[in-house]
Amino acid sequence: MGEVMTNSKNYEFNDKDNKDYKNNDYKIDYPIDIKELKKYCNPSYIVIRNDKLIVSNKRYAKLSREKMKKIEKDFGIPVVYSRVYEEISEKMGRFVAKYNIINPRNKIIVGLSGGKDSIALMHLLEPYRRKFGISITAITADLNINGKRPWGNIEENPNLKKVHKQCENLNIPHKIISHCGNVVEMSNYLTENAKIKGMEYSPCFSCSLTRRHIITNYIHEHCNNNYNTYTNTNNTNNNNGNDENRENRENNRKNAEYKNYKVAFGHTLEDNSDTILANMFKGDKIKSLAPIKKFTPMNISFEDFGFDLDLKPCTIIRPILAIKEEKIIKALEECGLWYYKDKDECPYSRANGDGIRKRAHFVLKDLEKSIPNVREMVISSTLKTIGDNFESE
């Protein structure tokens, strides 16, 4: 396994919202009294930040303009309403329900780059803490892109400090975990050693694998820590009974907790349609990103670099896969939410790179001028071809 370094000693929040799984009592330090807020509205349809409240659904929250003004007066906190934010929140809600993406008491790990999509995703998920009793942790993967680290060194990176501040305002634990592997060199190594001649692996591919390695190993270690704490307490309180049966029960509990974790990524409608077209350009099978997908374990050895990528089994969810980026940008702007333009820092991003995905993106962008819903049509056609099982991803 590659060297994994964490800055979490000084830059993380207490994991108290992850500990009490049985009682579903996450004891989040909200800036206002939730019981009092319930007298004014339904908090399950409001994003609660330390500096403002954002309305996710005015009707379901049972809010009027007068009620919003009264909350501002009585609680001393601004209430923000954006029709576009409400629109994307409702769209995500329908998408989540359609594909059963989030279940009660899930433990959601958000892959947080700090860009517009992951910042929006984190805010859109926040009300589910009250709606479904989920817990949320944000993990930023500090990756090495040929010596450039857009998500590293929080002490000297003002943008990363702002990303951390967003989590702080949402009372969401934030961890920054680093990996030593150079994703560009990793991609070159994979291409040179590809089983299929001519197969090329982009740095984006290595980046996604490394990010998954970081997050799934965090989940695995976190479950082991919880399991050891539970086992020690259980053994202290109950030394009777068959050791083998107790071990089986404890293993079952550990497995159940692990399965309850889901990794959330901020892939959008553009990401999905770009992926479909790019695969067609490469002569590959027609593939679509799945709203929810279970990934099996995989180990990739980088012998030249002296480490492996050990990808643990995980469930990946993409709650905003049906939402357009332009809507996300407008919603964030109307709500006064900052986001990190991290793609400007990466030489292989859509803005800076020159790969097939970039070309696919701009082909569709050009077509949108005359066919506004061309992306939706590409996705719809694909789903009619491969079906809703998404097995071909």
Query: Domain residues of the chain, as ranges?
Result: 4-28+84-236+244-386
To the nearest 10 degrees (0 to 180), the angle between helices 83-99 and 325-334 is 130
Strand, helix or coil for residue 162: helix
d(CA 375, CA 378): 5
Q: How many CB atoms lie within 10 A of CB 383?
A: 15
- The pLDDT value given to residue 249: 72
Q: What phi, psi does 234 have (nearest 5°)?
A: -65, -40
Beta bridge partners of 307: 302
Q: State the maximum Cα–Cα separation within the chain, in Å, rounded to a whole number.
A: 73
Q: Do residues 206 and 183 lie in contact, with contact meaning Cβ atoms separated by under 8 Å? A: yes
- The pLDDT value given to residue 14: 35
- The pLDDT value given to residue 5: 43
Residue 377 — left, alpha, or beta (φ > 0 → left; ψ -120 to 50 → alpha)?
alpha
Strand residues in 78-129 grouped as ranges (E): 79-80, 107-111
Beta bridge partners of 294: 315
Q: Which residues of the chain have pLDDT under 70?
A: 1-26, 226-244, 246-247, 250-251, 254, 353-354, 388-393
d(CA 13, CA 362): 40
Strands 107-111 and 292-295: unpaired
Return the amino acid letter for 207: C
* Radius of gyration, CA atoms only, the chain: 22
How much of the chain is helix, strand and coil, in % rounded to 5? Answer: 45, 15, 40
- The pLDDT value given to residue 130: 97
Q: How far is CA 351 from the centre of its chain?
A: 22
- The pLDDT value given to residue 245: 76
- The pLDDT value given to residue 247: 67
Enumerate the H helices of the chain as residue ranges: 16-19, 34-37, 58-61, 65-75, 83-99, 116-125, 128-131, 158-170, 183-192, 203-237, 243-259, 269-281, 325-334, 356-368, 374-386
Q: Do residues 213 and 183 lie in contact, with contact meaning Cβ atoms separated by under 8 Å? A: no
Q: Which CATH superfamily is domain 4-28+84-236+244-386 in?
A: HUPs (3.40.50.620)
- The pLDDT value given to residue 378: 96
- The pLDDT value given to residue 97: 98
